[in-house]
Structure 1
Amino acid sequence: MGRSVFLSEQNKRPSIQESYNFCEYIVRRSSTSFARSFKSLPKEKRNSVNALYAFCRRVDDIVDGDWLPKIQENKKFEIKSKLKFEELKLKYGKSKEYSNVELMARIKALLWFREKLDILEINPKSLNDPIFIALADTVNKFSIDIDNLRELILGMEEDLFHVGCQTFEEMYSYCRKVASSVGLCLIEIYGYDDDDARKYAEDMGIFLQMVNILRDIEEDYKRGRSYIPLIELESYGIDYNNLMQAPKINPKSWKKFISDFLQKTQKFRISAMKLIPMLNHDSQHSPRLMCEVYDAILKEAKRREGDIISNKLRLGFASKISFALASFGVRLNQSEWT
């Protein structure tokens, strides 16, 4: 994408407004529904959410997409990259998805993002990348703990090597890194009136990510990733190597496993919903809408009684219409779409 569309001279440091415009472009390009859901936010908050989303989008693209930043390497950075590469390989082993060359490129990219966060804390005015310029302005306006963004990068590093979650606790830990970390940043932008909001934001991240794990179970399996806890799976008599056939090979055990998984997800959902009324009134719409969407997926999974592999979890047409209208401020009674 040509930066000149949103930024002035390419050899000139982008202004703060140009940087926010660039972040908004990334949001709209990645998810128009996401962009619509935040249109009710005051402009300052909406700009900051766009900056946070753009950062998260790029980090995710490094691991799951085909985007890598252009890095001006020096000897010091090259040494740090090699040390990080060896550290991660020692910790996680061989990557199932990427060759060593591909892996090194992604590790360098994540390290580059980590170093930009360090600069953001120490000398933000030296940053020239529009995402980090906007993010620095956001951090300056709101009490965002940058360590939460570092946690997100840790989760992305795990995904590069992902060897599988063994227990529910390991799965919860992963969810905290890749989802709760972002939620803890978002609530600082939204504003809240109770310190318990941080606990509920963490639980909301786990709730949303657990739904994602069920929704993407087949896609992740094909990529060699297992977020479903393997030891727990085995305790139900289900072999991960035959996971895609589990509903047919061992239907009773599979239904029981999914039922128990949904019950655990529901507990986090109940806690997560306590967050909404604690948020500033002008910021409640988007997280409430997101919870309703994920709640509908959760209900669909429960209705199917474990049939989530042969037929991927998706919202029905009437539900999609309801949430599309809701993103524009039009609400339907639940009975009209369930």
Structure 2
Amino acid sequence: MNQQATSTPAKHQGVALSSSFYAAMRILPREQREAMFQVYSFCRYVDDIADSDGPRPQRLADLQQWRDDIDALYNGTPPARLRDYTASVQRFGLKRKDFLDIIDGMEMDVPADIRAPDEATLDLYCDRVASAVGRLSVRIFGLPENDGLSLAYHLGRALQLTNILRDIDEDAGIGRLYLPREGLLAAGITSTDPQLVIAEAALPRVCAPLVARAQSHFKRADEVMNRNPRRLVRAPRIMSKYYHAILRLLIARGFDLPRAPVKLGKASRIAILLQYAII
């Protein structure tokens, strides 16, 4: 979306397509680093299509072409723009479905901008645009299957929910609203107009459950990383610490008007990198 591999990550890519992504991935061994940057490039391409101001039918067609190209990659006849991916797909066992899930997630904003999705749709969106990227990533990092899938599930959702909470006003500016319909109604907000919703005095009541949910996902992700060798989880640990710090800044700022933009300072980012970059 406007997230970000993701200093504003692409909204679609809870995966955080950003300067934090670069810092976390540069510490990886060469083959892993190259594979991660291929995943990043793919996410950026499809994210840019979804977020462009081109005609919606053309954007849908462009995303379908990427689906066709992914199918060709896995059928052994990759197009030129995916030819370099063949070795990574084979080396790390990357799954076709995860690439297609990412495209499906990006496409959720194309027929019409998302506005106040129900809880099930919001979770599906988080899974596609963030946890699917995580599923590709944990295979590259070399985590065991079950722990890798669990980490992708929880960390992807933690990052994406943090992005949503951070970018409420920015998203509203382009006509999008990712806060769940059930949360709005529980707070007494019946409108789904983004500009009206962000001006509501009850907005903090809508955000509080999402903050708690993100905190819970960060905790579960930490539990997975804590039981795996440090060298396997250095990169996701850095991403987690970056975004958990952003969530804490959001909590400290609050969600009442006026809402100043929240950004993790350079010194804090460097401190996290130095703490976790060394095996």
Contact 2:116 2:181 in 1 (8 A): yes
How many residues are matched? 256
Letter in 2 for 1:230: R
> For residue 119 of structure 1, what is the aligned residue in structure 2?
72
The 1:309–1:286 alpha-carbon spacing in structure 2 relative to 1, beyond 3 Å, is: farther
Looking at structure 2, the residues matched to 31 and 56 of structure 1 have their Cα atoms a distance apart, in angstroms, of 11
Work out whether residues 214 and 308 of structure 1, in 8 Å CA contact, stay in contact via their aligned partners in 2: no
Q: State the match for 1:244 in structure 2.
A: 198
Cα separation, 2, equivalents of 1:308 and 1:322: 26
Of 147, 152, 159, which aligns to 1:196?
147
CA distance in 2 between counterparts of 1:194 and 1:122 reads 24
- Structure 2: distance between partners of 1:185 and 1:163: 25
In the alignment, which residue of structure 2 is the partner of 1:133? 83
- Does 1:158 find its partner at 2:108? yes
Matched, 1:34 2:21: yes
Whole-Å Cα distance in 1 between the matches of residues 94 and 76 of structure 2? 16
**Is 1:324 the equivalent of 2:270?**
yes
CA distance in structure 1 between the aligned counterparts of 2:272 and 2:211, rounded to whole angstroms: 26
Indicate if the aligned counterparts of 1:166 and 1:232 stay in contact, CA closer than 8 A.
no
Matched to 1:222, the amino acid is G
C-alpha distance in 2 between matches for 1:298 and 1:313? 9
What letter matches 2:95 in structure 1? Answer: D
Q: Is the 8 A contact 2:131 2:152 kept in 1?
A: yes
Deviation of 1:181 (Å):
0.5
1-structure distance, mates of 2:99, 2:115: 22
Q: Aligned to 1:104, which of 49, 53, 57?
A: 57
Question: Which aligned pairs between 1:53-72 and structure 2 lie closer than 5 A?
Answer: 53-65=40-52
Report Cα offsets for 1:311-336 as digits up to 9, x if no partner. Answer: 12222x4xx31212443x357xxxxx
Amino acid at match of 2:91: K
SS at match of 2:43: helix
Identity of aligned residues (%): 28
How far did residue 204 of structure 1 move? Answer: 1.1
Aligned 8 A contact 1:300 1:313 in 2: yes
Pairwise CA distance, 1:112: 1.1
Are 1:312 and 2:261 an aligned pair? yes
**Who is 2:131 aligned against?**
180
SS of 2:130's equivalent in the other structure is helix
CA contact (8 A) 2:253 2:259 kept: no
Match of 2:34 among 33, 47, 52: 47
Distance (whole Å) between structure 2 residues aligned to residue 176 and residue 31 of structure 1: 19
Unmatched runs of 5 consecutive residues or more in structure 2: 1-16
Name the amino acid aligned to 1:211: T
User: Closer, same or farther in 2 for the Cα pair 1:121/1:280, shift >3 Å?
Assistant: farther
8 Å contact from structure 2 (residues 116, 192) kept in 1: no
Instruction: State the Cα distance separating 1:235 from its structure 2 match.
Output: 1.7
In 2: Cα distance, 1:208 partner to 1:309 partner: 24
Structure 1 or 2, whichever has the larger Rg, is: 1
TM-score by length of 1: 0.70
Check whether the contact 1:192–1:278 (CA below 8 A) recurs between aligned residues.
no
Q: How does 1:239-278 map to 2 (within 5 A)?
A: 239-241=191-193, 242-246=196-200, 250=201, 253-277=202-226
Change (3 A) 1:137 1:165: farther
Which structure is higher in helix share?
1
4+ long deviations beyond 4 Å = 30-33
User: Take 1:330 and 1:271, find their aligned partners in 2: how far apart are those partners?
Assistant: 21
